[in-house]
Structure 1
Amino acid sequence: MIGILLRQRLRRDRVQLLLWIAGTAAMAGAAVSGVTQSYGDLEARTAVLATVMANPVILMFRGLPSGAGEEQVALFLILPFLAMLAAFMSAFLAVRHTRAEEEQGRAELIAATPAGRVAPLAATILHGALANILLGLLVGLVYVASGYPAAGSWVAGLAAASVGLCFLGVGLLAAQLMRTSRGANSLAVWILVATYVMAGLGNALGTPSDDLTRMESSWLAWLSPFGWAENTRPFADDAIWPALLAIGTGAVFVGIAFAVQAVRDLGEGVVPQRRGRTWAGRSLGSPIGLVWTLTRGSIVGWAIGGLLTGLLATSLASVVNELGTRIEAVQTLFEALSQTGGLEAGMVVIFYIIVGVLASCAAVQTVCRARQEEAHGTGEPVLASAVDRVRWLGGYLVIALIAVLLTVAAAIAGSMLGAAGGDWSLVEDAVVAGVGQAVAACVFLAVTALVFVLAPRATIVVGWMLVLIAVLIGLFGPLFSMPEWLTSLSPFAQTPTLDAGAVDVKGGWWLVTTAAVGAAASLALMRRRELHPSG
């Protein structure tokens, strides 16, 4: 039975896993060419690492320096992102094939067969393990094909896969603890973000070497699977045991997940549901109020992320200006990323691309909630009342727009705090960049809504994959020397910016038109769209 269930999972996830794994391998390969072109000589790499050591806050967003060699710098720049992609893939896979199956009622049908309740969980573990093994092998092959030492290449692949295996266990345990797939995914993501930040802080608080090319992590990084992966130090120490520590931790979580499943009722979770109020508030009397109640927690989370990103955008500007003044390659790189002439303004633009990504995620998640409500059957009672289809979907679009505006507004407020006592001219750059990224996020809002109307079952996959692809080509495209025509396809790269005191609109009007037409078309087509309650 395990073999049958495993084949079913592989067939069901073949497209998603292909995108996750191929995208991770492509990012690993792109880092090689990016480092070769941007930091081709030892002097430039040494200067970059010295600047990083002098400003350890940068280590919160990168890896752990292990030397000034080309392959060592490549892993310093990209390894945390490879591990993060593996972690997201594994956690979502675990929840999708366990808790989500219980929500849809399919797990109960399988449990009534000879497969029972253990075989599906075992098949999911094998499924996730195979996906991470393939991801690790492809990452290692990419570096071997690039001419890097074989030992370090395979350690790099193992490091990324080990974090994925750890979060496979995290996702499985979260699925046992929480009663809904949404709650399980949220718990897994918050653990992922917390451990990523913990590893970054651990690196920032570490001890640099005398030649400023290597950093020894503090104890805090050793509490995080990301810290374990980085301390494998591919192409330097090639240590395997920290990766085994991550794999072992994942195995412990898997064992706990089996134990919890054995004692809980099907469809229930360990964490009890929060009891609702006896009397509903006035806001629940309208579709917009209902959507806000359902999504406000996640929206606040995205807004907090925007606030922190905006704060860093202006507070780190002077650091980047110093770095660009010393290293010409860095100045060229930032100008390519931001497409502006000044380093400090370019730093703001780059950070606001991240704000745009956060705002887009908030919008896509809100629109995807409409699909979840429809699939779970909870949207049908609302539509059975005086609320028609257009008004129902319109509520999600309005709240998604509010989520975008709140995230961007929080980022601008953070930039004001970061500029206090410094260069207030950067706030103007932040406002222009923030408005532009809000428009870009609205494009994803409209396109996801259109997919929801035309192909509802593809809403969640298409919505999130569009954001991921746009991030890869818009944010990492210039860094990895992708063709200009390709990077220009990303809405994040077409937003207005402030250049020499004048606003460069770029593709801003096209973004506004696309967002408006897409939203209007989704509402118009929703009039005749039938419900598709099945997941």
Structure 2
Amino acid sequence: MIPLLRQRLRRDWLQLSLWILGAVLLAYAGYGGVTQSYGTVADRQEVLAAVAANPVILMFRGLPSGDSVGAFLAFEDLPWLAMLAALMSTFLAVRHTRGDEEAGRGELVASTAAGRVLPTLATIVHGLVANAVLALLTAVSLIAAGMDAVGSLLLGGAAGATGVAVLGIGLVAAQLMRTSRGANALTVWLVVATFLIRGIGNVAGTPSDDLTRIESSWLVWLSPFGWAEQVRPYDADDPLPLLLALGVGLVLSAAAIALQSMRDMGASFIPERNGRPTASAALSSPHALVWRLSWGAILGWVIGGALTGILATTLGGLAGRIAGENPAVAQILEKIARAGALDEAMITVFFTMLGILAACAAVQTVVRARQEEAHGTAEPVLAAAVGRVRWFADYVIVATVAVVLVVAAGMGTAYAGIAANGGPSELHRVVTVTGLGQLAAASVFTALTALVFVILPRATLAAGWAMIGAATILGMFGPLFGMPEWATDISPIAVAPVVSHGDVDLRGLWWLLLAVVVAGTGALTLMRRRELAADG
């Protein structure tokens, strides 16, 4: 097993380093943000009361467990630390199981003395070690900042245990689905669904009289994210939910080994849909093929964009009442959005998430080009009358179309929400400006990921998603964590145009457009000289 673990470490050291470093920085920056922005008990009580009074904000925050610095830090950071661990575990589990089978590596290893079971066991150990390191370093960063050791260890452990639970889910998904793409998609959607179930369970819970603590409903016990929050670091410090998450992860891992023994190499329990005997006219061109390969994933991001848009303007109708009851909500939103009026800030905050979704759709599409190249399926296309630049340009075009569709879905439902709630007509301009601004911001990720694909093809997957992770942390959480403005402005989504106090603020629009043009042109130009890098 040791040689297999060394091989996995060589392949994954960069990706794992980025995930773990992101978690450590998020935890440490969260401590700085809490102590700087919410340094007094009164400040923290105001925020917790505002969140408890607004179910939708509570959906995307942690579980209120008191007004101490530690409990407030867990409320701010724990769901997102757990999400980082979950996504890290998802890609790790699928890459070394179904991904290796797709690439033919699994069959080669199985033909040696290792057999079929040992590589899967090595993947399980690999995932456990990665989550343990993430948990430990996260806890150490908080202890170094001056936080209580027990609470810090439990907060880091809660994130790591969530990763272990999702590791098991990813391993089972890799047995069920025929492709690594399908296994990743299934696991990610389950992660998103359980994250939302956790939020619904908190919303359906019972707040304390002072609105600083919520007793969650039974729904949270259906979600590994809910188990993590029930640890309540720096408050109850209950380790039992950690044992539940670890136990479920190990049971699912054992189930994955059992399922693997019941199928042939390369087979799956959910077969792929049979293809048509003849190709349709829609597949008569290379760009149509790219669209056919990508449209299913793009549809999921479009649905997410539509939901984000309707929430943006539906909540906008409630903004005035919420601000009147507790101005802390307005202060939070305005700090994130750096916008003026509260309804403008509400739209800006949610459209920041819309920009992230659009960027995810773009990066996933460009990464698809790398997967086609690594798996050797790009070669038959390039063997026809299709040049390398045209082949790659089709992926960039489809990625751009994906950005447009996601943003358009969000803007369309936002307009519908304004009409349904009788919102002021001025909000139409806010939606238009902010939506188009996030379109420009998301396009930066398309161009930069394309440039990485050309220069460092093997780093495409890691670099593309790492850029989105860094931009999300800086753009969405930087202002809350008290980061300097120059640091948050590194994120494209943070410098997109907005409407502030009724005036259009272009902010970094010209820099965004310049980055798109330079990186996009550079990628397509350099692609002329680049050879295929087919090995994964």
With the shorter chain as reference, the TM-score category is: over 0.9
Q: Deviations over 1:28-78 (max 9, x none)?
A: 111112122222222222222222222222221011111122211111121
Who is 1:456 aligned against? Answer: 457
Question: 2:205 maps to what in 1?
Answer: 206
Instruction: Return the letter of the residue paired with 1:521.
Output: G
From the superposition, tell whether residues 147 and 527 of structure 1 become closer, same or farther in structure 2 (CA, over 3 Å): closer
C-alpha distance 11-394 of structure 1, shift in aligned 2 (>3 A) = closer
Q: Secondary structure at the match of 2:499?
A: strand
**SS of the residue aligned with 2:516?**
helix
Alignment partner, residue 529 of structure 2 = 528
Q: Measure, in 2, the Cα distance between the counterparts of 1:52 and 1:494.
A: 26
- Please give the secondary structure, in 1, of the residue aligned with 2:421: coil
Instruction: Indicate the larger mover: 115-124 or 45-54.
Output: 45-54
In the other structure, the counterpart of 1:374 is 373
Structure 1 position 398 matched with structure 2 position 387? no
Distance 2:453 2:282 in 1: 25
Q: 3-state SS of the aligned residue for 1:72?
A: helix
Structure 1 SS opposite 2:400: helix
1:321 Cα deviation (Å)?
4.6
Q: Show CA shifts across 1:279-302 (max 9, x none).
A: 221110011211111111111100
TM-fit CA distance, 1:268: 1.5
- Which amino acid letter does the alignment assign opposite residue 512 of structure 1? L
Shift of 1:265: 1.0
Q: Which moved more, 1:416-425 or 1:179-188?
A: 416-425
CA contact (8 A) 2:290 2:395 kept: yes
- The CA deviation at 1:327 is 5.9
Per-residue CA deviation, residues 488-525 of structure 1 (Å, 9 max, x unaligned), is 12111221112233322122112112212322222222
TM alignment of 1:217-366, pairs within 5 A: 217-322=216-321, 324=323, 331-366=330-365
Q: CA RMSD in A?
A: 1.7
* 1:294-329 residue CA offsets vs partner (Å, 9 max, x unmatched): 111111100111111111112223555555556666
Percentage of identical aligned residues: 54
**1:78/1:159 Cα in 2 relative to 1: closer, same or farther (>3 Å)?**
same
Please give the secondary structure, in 1, of the residue aligned with 2:238: coil
Q: Equivalents in 2 of 1:417, 1:155: separation in Å?
A: 44
TM-score by length of 2: 0.96
Q: Contact 2:50/2:329 (CA < 8 Å) preserved in 1?
A: no
Asked if 1:185 is matched to 2:174, the reply is no
- Please give the alpha-carbon distance, in whole angstroms, between the structure 1 residues aligned to 2:129 and 2:56: 36
Code of the residue aligned with 1:392 in structure 2: it is: W
Match of 1:148, as an amino acid? Answer: M
Distance of 1:323 and 1:89 partners within structure 2: 37
- Rounded Cα–Cα distance in structure 1 between residues aligned with 2:265 and 2:279: 29
2:139 equivalent in structure 1: 140
Displacement, 1:200? 0.7
Please tell me the residue identity of whatever aligns with 1:421: N
Match of 2:421 in 1: 421
Q: Partner of 1:54 in structure 2?
A: 53
- In 1, Cα distance between equivalents of 2:502 and 2:332: 22
Which blocks of at least 5 consecutive residues in structure 1 are unaligned?
Answer: none
Matched, 1:158 2:134: no
Aligned length: 534
Q: For the residues of structure 2 that align with 1:51 and 1:43, how far apart are their CA atoms?
A: 12
1:146/1:324 CA distance change after superposition, 3 Å? farther
Cα distance between partner residues in 2 of 1:427 and 1:144:
47
What residue ranges of structure 2 are gaps of 5+ in the alignment? Answer: none
Separation in structure 2 between the aligned mates of residue 387 and residue 95 of structure 1, nearest angstrom: 32
CA change 1:421–1:324 in 2 (3 A) is: closer
Q: Does 1:71 align with 2:73?
A: no
Per the alignment, in what secondary structure is the counterpart of residue 360 of structure 1? helix
CA contact (8 A) 2:161 2:246 kept: yes
SS of 1:529's equivalent in the other structure is coil
**Contact 1:325–1:331 (CA<8 Å) still a contact in 2?**
no
Distance 1:527 1:147 in 2: 53
Residue 121 (structure 2) pairs with residue 117 (structure 1): no
Q: For residue 502 of structure 2, what is the aligned residue in structure 1?
A: 501
Residue number in structure 2 paired with 1:466: 467
Query: Which secondary structure state, in structure 2, belongs to the residue aligned with residue 13 of structure 1?
Result: helix
CA distance in structure 1 between the aligned counterparts of 2:68 and 2:109, rounded to whole angstroms: 53
In 1, Cα distance between equivalents of 2:26 and 2:323: 24
Encode CA deviations 1:160-179: one digit per residue, 9 max, x unaligned: 11100001111111111112
Query: Aligned AA for 2:421?
Result: G
- d(CA) in 2 for partners of 1:248, 1:161: 13
Counterpart-to-counterpart distance in 1, 2:18 and 2:511: 28
SS at structure 2 position matched to 1:153: helix
| More divergent stretch after superposition (485-494 vs 360-369) | 485-494
Q: Tell me how far apart the structure 1 counterparts of residues 10 and 229 of structure 2 sit (CA, whole Å).
A: 33
Alpha carbons 1:412, 1:427 under 8 Å: kept? no
Conservation of the 8 A alpha-carbon contact between 2:195 and 2:225:
yes
Q: Which moved further from structure 2: 367-376 or 518-527? A: 518-527
* SS of residue paired to 1:503: strand
Please give the alpha-carbon distance, in whole angstroms, between the structure 1 residues aligned to 2:14 and 2:376.
Answer: 26
| Contact 2:32–2:481 (8 Å) recurs in 1 | yes
Q: 1:387 maps to what in 2?
A: 386
Task: Point out the more displaced range, 86-95 or 64-73.
Answer: 64-73
Q: Distance in 2 between matches of 1:464 and 1:518?
A: 17
Q: Cα–Cα, structure 1 residues 332 and 220, in superposed 2: closer, same or farther, change >3 Å?
A: closer
Per-residue Cα deviation, 1:466-498 (whole angstroms, up to 9, x for no partner): 111122222211111112222212111221112
Structure 1 residues 407-418: aligned runs within 5 Å: 407-418=406-417
Please tell me whether the aligned partners of residues 206 and 217 of structure 1 are also in contact (alpha carbons under 8 angstroms): yes
The one-letter code matched in structure 1 to 2:112 is T
**TM-score of the pair, normalised by structure 1:** 0.96
